[in-house]
């Protein structure tokens, strides 16, 4: 097993935990991408959530992006509206998975089965 430097371990742990500061440092392109897109902050955040839905992204991605969207003033209703808008394009299984991740990211309990 490789030996990692302490700062490398901390960075990896921060990214894996969804720590905004570590992710901003690691990704570093968020602001540049936002400016280049020419979208307002709320639309930019919703488009990124829609991309996560389409990609069937991992839970940590939702937790981070939903938090960013809420900080930008996006409402939970707008996030759900985005899911409804993309559901026909991404298909039922991905829409169901995305709904569960969005729910958890909004602090809602898991859906009863």
**Is there a single domain that holds both residue 51 and residue 25?**
no
Higher pLDDT, 40 or 112: 40
Task: With respect to residue 2, please indicate whether it lies within any of the assigned structural domains.
Answer: no
Residue 1 lies in a domain: no
Angle in degrees, CA 59, 108, 85, rounded to 5: 70
DSSP structure class, residue 2:
-
Q: What is the pLDDT of residues 36-51, one digit of tens each?
A: 778 899 999 999 999 9
33 and 81 inside one domain? no
Residues 90 and 73 in one domain: yes
Are 106 and 95 found together in one domain?
A: yes
CA-CA distance, 103 to 99, in Å (whole number)? 6
- Kindly state the average pLDDT of the residues 7-13: 76
Which ranges in 17-58 belong to alpha helices (H)?
Answer: 20-27, 30-37, 41-55
pLDDT higher than threshold 60 for residue 29? no
Mean model confidence pLDDT for the chain:
84
- For the cut 60, the answer to whether the pLDDT of residue 62 exceeds it is yes
Cα separation, 63 vs 18, whole angstroms = 7
Residue 58's domain spans which residues? 40-113
Q: Is residue 111 part of a domain?
A: yes
The mean-pLDDT minimum among 28-37, 81-90, 102-111 falls in: 28-37
Distance of CA 100 to the CA centre of its chain: 13
19 and 49 in one domain? no
Number of domains forming the structure of the chain: 2
Q: Are residues 46 and 96 in the same domain?
A: yes
Lowest average pLDDT, out of 10-19, 25-34, 40-49, 62-71, goes to 25-34
């Amino acid at each position: 097993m490789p030996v990692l430097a302490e700062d490398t371990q901390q960075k990896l742990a921060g990214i894996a935990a969804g720590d905004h500061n570590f992710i901003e440092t690691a990704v570093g392109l968020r602001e540049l991408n936002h400016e280049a897109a020419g979208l307002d902050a709320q639309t930019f955040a919703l488009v990124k959530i829609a991309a996560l839905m389409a990609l069937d992204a991992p839970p940590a991605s939702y937790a981070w992006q939903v938090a960013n969207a809420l900080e930008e003033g996006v409402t939970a209703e707008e996030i759900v509206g985005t899911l409804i808008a993309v559901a026909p394009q991404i298909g039922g299984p991905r829409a169901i998975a995305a709904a569960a991740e969005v729910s958890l990211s909004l602090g809602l309990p898991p859906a009863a089965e």
